[in-house]
A and B are shown apart, each in its own frame.
Chain A
Amino acid sequence: MRFSTHQIALIALLASLVACGAEERAIDTAGDEESLPTVYAVNYPLAYFAERIAGNTVEVVFPAPEDVDPAMWVPDVDTVARFQRADLVLLNGAGYAAWIQRVTLSQSRLVVTSAAFADRLIPVEDEVTHSHGPAGDHSHEGKAFTTWLDPEFAIEQARAVLGALLRLHPENESEYRERLATLEQDLRELDRELKDVSARIGDRRLLFSHPVYQYFERRYSLNGQSLHWEPGEMPDEVLWRELSGILSAHPANWMVWEGMPHPEAVSRLEGLGIRSVVFQPAGNRTESGDYMSVMQENLRALQQAFPTSAR
């Protein structure tokens, strides 16, 4: 079969038209993907709640690098610009991620997820006040911000996330509510099991490596004292002397760590009769697993540390 020059030109034209159509469809599809609303979160628990509730109907972005504490992380200007373009920005509130105060974000897109329990936040006051100029004495007081470690608060925060997501996708209400119910169930189950463990801990004195467990302590009535120890580092002698002072008034046998402690620190603590257990606040993503799996891991660690026959 032979084609004339005209026929070849016609086929080429048709082929290019088909290709153009395919390309346009591809662009349209890409456009659809791009048109997914973006939800930025300042910590991993909020990102996790948004992902659980919204599924793939929104693009959830938690831009903090994995090796930093999102509470202390400060994004660069480009990242702030991406926050500015987001359809929703999920804030933890309680002064978490202080950089929020130093950037410009659209008020209408900010969601303070702890607003519903703002009156129940735990105040943390800077011990040193200072004064300069006519403003008088003042201290940089704040609130404890690891709110999600109280599962009741975590549920309230997840509900706030739901409310915000419904503003973006009101048509998905029943689906979202269903997923929130499942999430709430998971958190309630975790709460119940943590209550069991805390009952076994009772009024035993504990040490916490960092002052981030305030809501956890209050929820489960734990008798703890917080230090300022970094999990991966061997504390210096000043910190050890400080610990000795604390132990004289607060003789504890267990230290709860934010992350895997330095082996030398663990063995020196054991020498003092203090054993170590890891309970990760999960403010940031972990290498494997998700928020619930980290919490389950925390729960198992506590269950092993304080078995049923512990009391």
Chain B
Amino acid sequence: MRDVLYLAWRYLVYHRLKTVILVTSITLIVYLPVGLNVVVEQSGEHLTARAEATPLLVGAKGSPLELALNSLYFSPDYPELIDYSEATAVIDSGLATAIPLYVRFRSRSQPIVGTSLDYFEFHELAFASGRPMAVLGECVVGAAVAEALGVEVGDAVTSSPETVFDLAGVYPLRMRIAGVLEKAFTSDDDAIFVDVKTAWIIQGLGHGHQDLARPEAAASVLDRSEDNIVANAALLQYNEITADNADSFHFHGDLAGYPLTAVIAVPNDEKAGVILRGRYTHDETMSQIVRPVTVIDELLDTILTIQQFIVAAVVIVGLATIATAALVFMLSLRLRRREIDTMLKIGGSRPRVASILVAEIAIVIILSCVLATLITLLTWRFGPGVIESVVLS
């Protein structure tokens, strides 16, 4: 048997180009439907697990998918904004706990998630080092962020301006890292968490600046009357909140009107959840309440439909490839007529010669299957992340 395998192997190695083409074709035909299935199933599980962990989302009326993707996976596209009063309305209902979310700004590519302490408790996020943010200007970074940026407790990250050319706009805010989270294997690993008020400061809704009544600020004062002081753009505004200037940070107007992208509502029980959803359904307000799991299921249904079309196409292409491979083998038998005759003349029995030809085919198929399995394993390991990033972008 060894001699049969040896001769088959030597033949394949000698005709390496033909072998590589055959192995590649069969590998792809085996891998495509299996790999696609693995990717879709795993991504589905991953997306659904996060959605299932978030019972209800309150956001502005509009695309529920945009609301869910921004709130659960911190996608860069953010939904229409709602007022902070939506969070207090949920709390005041007595039916649910409200966790505000303001996912609008970034530090390089990492999303900055403005929220409250309840977020960590709700998602059971543990601290690898440090503590939750305690004062304005502090942040907590996810495990992947700490790894990617090489930062730890005591370092700082800086928010990125929304538009590079907006010179008169919001200045970047330098935020001290108070804590680093343990790996959670969710989108929380890639996020920078701040208090929602810090997110408002990034936007410029709250700010700290020199006291206009003090002599140091005199150079920045354009006009001073008994009851009004007008300052120019040279007024020193702080881009880092420190113990020395923290007291100067303030917000104008009623915080109830400040923006959020969403509110996570955690109902006290199932009945409370139903009542809360009912209130939004029958209310003609500008906000909506969605069950993220329903939204993500709809997304997955769409992906599954596409998957079915792709699999059907792959099956047809696969049949064509198998037919082509069979043709290649048959043609090669004709081309190898003299070689086969020689083997018979030097004493090789017909079954022996046939087994060499079968072994060649078997080796090609086995090699293809092994390669397809390896690529499927790689897909299983890295595929969901790639697909998720494609879906979220």
Contact = CB atoms under 8 A, between A and B. Distances in A.
Interface of A: 74, 77, 80-81, 84, 101-108, 127-135, 137-138, 140
B233 interface: yes
Contacts of B99: 107
A134 B228 CA distance: 16
Contacts of B227: 127-129
A81 B212 CA distance: 33
Interface in B114-166: 116-118, 121, 131-136, 138
B228 A129 contact: yes
Interface residues of B, number: 42
A103 B231 contact: no
Contact of A104 (B195, B231, B232): B195
**Which secondary structure characterizes the binding site on chain B?**
mixed
B134 A103 contact: yes
| Across the A-B interface, the 5 shortest Cβ-Cβ residue pairs | A132-B231, A104-B195, A130-B229, A106-B117, A80-B134
Contact of B230 (A81, A84, A132, A140): A132
Contacts of B251: 101
A132 B117 contact: no
Contact of A101 (B197, B220, B230, B253): B197
B385 to A, nearest CB: 31
Interface stretch (B37-45, B242-250, B271-279, B308-316): B242-250
Contacts of B113: none
B91 interface: yes
B100 interface: yes
Given A101-B251, A108-B97, A130-B230, 12 more contacts: A77-B135, A103-B136, A104-B134, A104-B197, A107-B91, A107-B97, A107-B98, A129-B227, A130-B231, A131-B228, A131-B231, A132-B220
Contacts of B218: none
B255 to A, nearest CB: 8
Given A84-B117, A130-B212, A132-B235, A104 B133 contact: yes
B209 interface: yes
Nearest to A78: B134
Contacts of A104: 116-117, 132-136, 138, 195, 197
A131 B233 CA distance: 10
Contacts of B233: 132-133
B213 A103 contact: no
Contacts of B228: 128-131, 137
B153 to A, nearest CB: 13
Given A84-B132, A130-B212, A105 B230 contact: no
Nearest to A102: B136
A107 B87 contact: yes
Contact of B91 (A74, A108, A138): A108
B78 to A, nearest CB: 21
B252 interface: yes
Contact of B135 (A102, A106, A127, A130): A102
Interface in B151-203: 168, 195, 197
A103 B252 CA distance: 17
Which of A80, A132, A135 has the most chain B CB within a 10 Å cutoff? A132
Contacts of B138: 104
A105 B132 CA distance: 10
Contacts of A80: 134-135
10 contacts: A77-B135, A80-B134, A84-B117, A103-B136, A104-B132, A104-B136, A107-B116, A108-B97, A108-B118, A132-B233
Contacts of B230: 130-132
Contacts of A106: 116-118, 121
Interface string B40-55: 0000000000000000
B286 to A, nearest CB: 22
A137 B116 CA distance: 30
Given A77-B135, A101-B251, A102-B136, A128 B117 contact: no
Contacts of B209: 132
Contacts of A129: 227-229
Contacts of B131: 81
Contact of B117 (A102, A105, A131): A105
Contacts of B252: 135, 138
A129 to B, nearest CB: 5
B95 to A, nearest CB: 13
A151 B97 CA distance: 31
A257 B103 CA distance: 49
Contacts of A137: 228
Contacts of B87: 107
Contacts of A140: 250
A256 B230 CA distance: 37
Interface string B91-110: 10000011110000000000
A102 B229 contact: no
A129 B229 CA distance: 6
B328 to A, nearest CB: 68
Contacts of A103: 134-136, 195
A138 B229 CA distance: 10
